[in-house]
Structures are given as C-alpha cells and as structure tokens.
C-alpha cells in the first residue's frame, strides 16, 4: 500500500462531506487538536467525534470550542469509531495501544500522528489485520495551512487511506509517500516550521539592528515570508527563477545572498535536516 501511494498530493478541499464517520481521538494535545479541528472542517460532524482527555478543564475547552464529546476512557472512546487517531507523545503510544487493542470496532482504522514510530510498531501491538495509517502533520495544521504526509500499512485498503486523506485534508495539504521517506518528511516538513520561525526571527532582529522598530520589523519579516510562499505556490515557478527576478546584477539582493553563501547557510540547512532525520531514527530505536 505504501509503495503504491508514493507522491500523490491532494488539496485542502474534500469532495462532499464525510457524514456518519465516527472518530475517536486518543490524546488531544496541540497536534491532536489541530487534526480534530481539521476533521470537523472536512465535514465530520461534532456529534460523531469523541476525544480523550486527562483533565476536566481540558474536556470543557474541547466541548465548548468544538462541540465534541470527551472522556477519560480510551477503550470506551474507540469502541464504535471508524477512525481512531492516536495523538499522544511517542513514549506513551505503546500504553495507549495496549488499552485500545481489544476494544477496536471491526474495520477500524488506526491513525498515528506520533513522530518517528514506524507502522510495524503498531502492527506488533494491535490485533492482527488492524488497518494502520501513519501520518506526519506539521503545526500550521492548527490554522488549516499544514502539510501532512501519510502512508498506509499492509492491512489498510485504498478506501481506508482515502478516508484518512479526506479527514486530514481539512488541516491543509495531504501528500502520500512511502514509509522509507517518512523520516525525511519529518525533517523537512515536520520540523520545517521551526526553521521558518528561526529565519523570520533572524530577519526581524536584523531589521531592528538596522533601525526599524521591533513591531515594524516583525510585520515586514512575517509578511515577506507569507508573500514569498504564496508567490511560489501560485506561480508554480522554481525558487531559483523567482530568486533571480529579485536579484539585479550588482544590486543589493545579490550582495545579501553572497553573504548568506559565504556563511554556509545552504550547507547548514542540509546538516540540520540530516540531524533531524537521524534523531528521529534514534528515537524510534529507543522506543523499540
């Protein structure tokens, strides 16, 4: 299933609505909540969603914000769910799978949004034949502008993966990849927002050093990144082509880009992504 799915991309709008699809969210931290919000945006009815929580105040937040049901019982939450999203921290996933394994409904699909854990981690801990889809969302999913990579396990049918794809599309772009590429996806897109925030902060601080007020510098840096991303997306042109249009021979932009090259920025990004990929592999090995 995963090798056949390589490279397929879907947009943010799902065709029609997802009616009668019951979802359970085991874990509703920042990423779990982002996926929950996206599921509702994709057409899942609030009454068909149950989310597990540890604290009463968290239950009140989710119920008032989204109109979904909440519980502290993971096994009860998944009992009649068509799709079960496991959104706890990687170190807690094994315990959750032990809780829910015997309560999964026939034909249920388990979706993992836990970073680093391979499909085999789930198949080894769930009843034989359980359909599993591994997903790697990023934090812009919180505002419906995320990108999520997915791969279906051996027991997941095309219908299973397509259903998960539609549910996740409410959080942004969905890309199907092979499982062997998931660590690279995590290094690029999963950790990617942090790199952008790092660059925006550096640009804004530089603007302050050049005499701009902090508010103005931040606004300019943020809007420049937003605008550049939108230009890349809507024109479909190569980044190099767009960069060259800004870079007049002998001009200010060329002078700036030369300093970035002298500082080894491009090589530093390669080193950063390799470090993120390698750390994901280490974490997966540590968790067995």
Decide if pLDDT at 162 tops 90.
yes
Decide if pLDDT at 193 tops 90.
yes
Q: Are strands 9-10 and 172-176 parallel, antiparallel or unpaired?
A: antiparallel
Provide mean pLDDT across the span 230-245: 97
CB within 8 A of 286, min separation 6: which ones?
none
pLDDT for 62: 95
pLDDT for 116: 85
For 197-206, write each residue's pLDDT tens digit.
999 999 999 9
User: Which tops the pLDDT comparison, 10 or 167?
Assistant: 167
In the structure, what pLDDT confidence band is assigned to residue 9 with cuts at 50, 70 and 90? low
Instruction: Give start-end residues of each CATH 1.10.3730.10 domain in the chain.
Output: 192-285
Tokens standing for 134?
A: 């591994």
Residue 228, Cβ density class (10 Å: 0-12 exposed, 13-18 middle, ≥19 buried):
middle
Decide if pLDDT at 145 tops 90.
yes
Helix (H, G, I), strand (E, B) or coil at 26: strand
Residue 282, Cβ density class (10 Å: 0-12 exposed, 13-18 middle, ≥19 buried):
exposed
For residue 225, the surrounding DSSP H or E stretch is: helix 214-235
pLDDT averaged over every residue in the chain? 92
Residue 6, Cβ density class (10 Å: 0-12 exposed, 13-18 middle, ≥19 buried):
middle
In the structure, what pLDDT confidence band is assigned to residue 16 with cuts at 50, 70 and 90? very low
For 119-136, write each residue's pLDDT tens digit.
999 999 999 999 999 999
For 254-268, write each residue's pLDDT tens digit.
999 999 999 999 999
Instruction: Give start-end residues of each CATH 3.40.50.720 domain in the chain.
Output: 3-178
**Domain 192-285 architecture:** Orthogonal Bundle (1.10)
Residue 171, Cβ density class (10 Å: 0-12 exposed, 13-18 middle, ≥19 buried):
buried
pLDDT for 8: 53
pLDDT for 61: 93
**Domain 3-178 CATH class label:** alpha beta
In the structure, what pLDDT confidence band is assigned to residue 2 with cuts at 50, 70 and 90? very low
Separation of alpha carbons 229 and 195, rounded Å? 14
Separation of alpha carbons 221 and 226, rounded Å? 9
**Number of neighbours of residue 107 by Cβ within 10 angstroms:** 12
> What are the φ/ψ torsions at residue 97 (nearest 5 degrees)?
-60, -35
pLDDT for 17: 53
For 59-118, write each residue's pLDDT tens digit.
999 999 999 999 999 999 999 999 999 999 989 999 999 999 999 999 999 999 988 899
Question: If we measure between CA atoms, which residue out of 185, 32, 167, 162 comes closest to residue 116?
Answer: 185
For 80-96, write each residue's pLDDT tens digit.
999 999 999 989 999 99
Q: Are strands 9-10 and 69-71 parallel, antiparallel or unpaired?
A: unpaired
């Amino acid at each position: 299933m995963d090798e056949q799915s390589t490279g397929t991309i879907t947009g943010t709008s799902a065709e029609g609505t997802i009616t009668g699809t019951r979802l359970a969210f085991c874990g509703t931290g920042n990423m779990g909540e982002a996926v929950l919000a996206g599921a509702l945006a994709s057409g899942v009815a609030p009454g068909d969603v149950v989310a597990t929580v540890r604290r009463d105040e968290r239950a009140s937040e989710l119920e008032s914000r989204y109109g979904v049901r909440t519980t502290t019982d993971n096994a009860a939450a998944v009992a009649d769910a068509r799709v079960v999203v496991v959104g706890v921290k990687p170190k807690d996933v094994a315990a959750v799978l032990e809780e829910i394994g015997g309560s999964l409904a026939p034909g249920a699909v388990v979706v993992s949004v836990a970073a680093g854990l391979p499909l085999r981690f789930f198949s080894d801990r769930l009843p034989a034949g359980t359909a599993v889809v591994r997903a790697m969302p990023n934090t812009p999913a919180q505002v419906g502008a995320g990108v999520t990579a997915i791969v279906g396990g051996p027991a997941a049918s095309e219908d299973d993966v397509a259903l998960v794809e539609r549910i996740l599309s409410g959080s942004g772009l969905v890309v199907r990849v092979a499982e062997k590429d998931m660590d690279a996806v995590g290094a690029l897109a999963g950790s990617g927002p942090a790199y952008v925030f790092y660059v925006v902060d550096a640009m804004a601080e530089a603007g302050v050093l050049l005499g701009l007020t902090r508010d103005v510098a931040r606004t300019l840096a943020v809007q420049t990144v937003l605008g550049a991303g939108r230009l890349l997306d809507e024109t479909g042109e190569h980044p190099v082509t767009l960069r060259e249009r800004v870079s007049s021979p002998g001009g200010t932009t060329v002078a700036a880009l030369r300093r970035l090259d002298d500082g080894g920025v491009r090589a530093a990004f390669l080193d950063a992504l390799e470090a993120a990929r390698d750390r994901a592999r280490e974490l997966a090995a540590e968790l067995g």
